[in-house]
Amino acid sequence: MKLGDGVEQAIHSVAMLTCLSPNGLLSAAALAEFHGVSTSYLLKHLQALSGAGIVQTWPGPKGGYRLARPAEKITLLDIVLAVEGPEPAFRCREIRRRGPNLLAARMFAKPCNINAAMLRAERAYRAELGRVTIADIITELNDLDDGSIAARGCAFLAEHQRRSAAPA
């Protein structure tokens, strides 16, 4: 299974937003700069995250993004579904019903066993992503950090964090 680059960018952006002060905001340009990605491409994914209720958007030249709910309530699955959509990765097209020497209709009474296996794998994959929250990711990162990751993020936020008019 291959997920688009937007999933990685979205997960990292959401993780970055966990570090904001209660009324802090980060612009899409700042998030893109921090991660070394295209602002226009990241904006598309931030809009999807906003539509899914994962981030809040403050419009205008002094606007930006912040989390719409606590990191403990945002799973990797939430982010993947926001960016990639809810459709399963595998889509059975019933090609077993095509080609020469077609089989009798009774041979297709049960669903395709390949499709069934792929859907079981999809359910397992989604279940695992649904168990992991952004808070879990941050906790694991903090356990591994010798201080350099936190220092990098704090320095960036000190320079780029904006304040919204209303508290979170």
Q: Which residues contact 134 (CB under 8 A, 6 or more apart)?
A: 11, 14, 15, 18, 71, 72, 74, 75, 76, 79
Collapsing DSSP to helix, strand or coil, 111 comes out as coil
108 DSSP 8-state letter: G
**Domains of the chain by residue range:** 5-85+133-163
DSSP 46-89: HHHHHHTTSEEEE-STT-EEEESS-GGG-BHHHHHHHHH-SS-S
Element (H, E) at 66: strand 64-67
pLDDT exceeds cutoff 60 at 148: yes
pLDDT exceeds cutoff 70 at 120: yes
Q: Give the chain's mean pLDDT.
A: 91
- CB count in 10 Å sphere of residue 29: 13
Q: What pLDDT does 47 receive?
A: 97
94: left (phi over 0), alpha (psi -120 to 50) or beta: left
- CB count in 10 Å sphere of residue 2: 5
Q: What pLDDT does 35 receive?
A: 95
Return the CATH architecture of domain 5-85+133-163. Answer: Orthogonal Bundle (1.10)
- Two tokens at 107? 């041979």
pLDDT exceeds cutoff 70 at 168: no
CA distance 74 to 70: 7
**How open is the CA angle 10-16-21, to the nearest 5 degrees?**
135
Q: What pLDDT does 150 receive?
A: 87
Round the CA-based radius of gyration of the chain to a whole number and report it: 21
- Of 13-17, 68-72, 151-155, least confident by mean pLDDT is 151-155
Query: pLDDT digit string (tens) for 33-84?
Result: 999 999 999 999 999 999 999 999 999 888 999 999 999 999 999 999 999 9
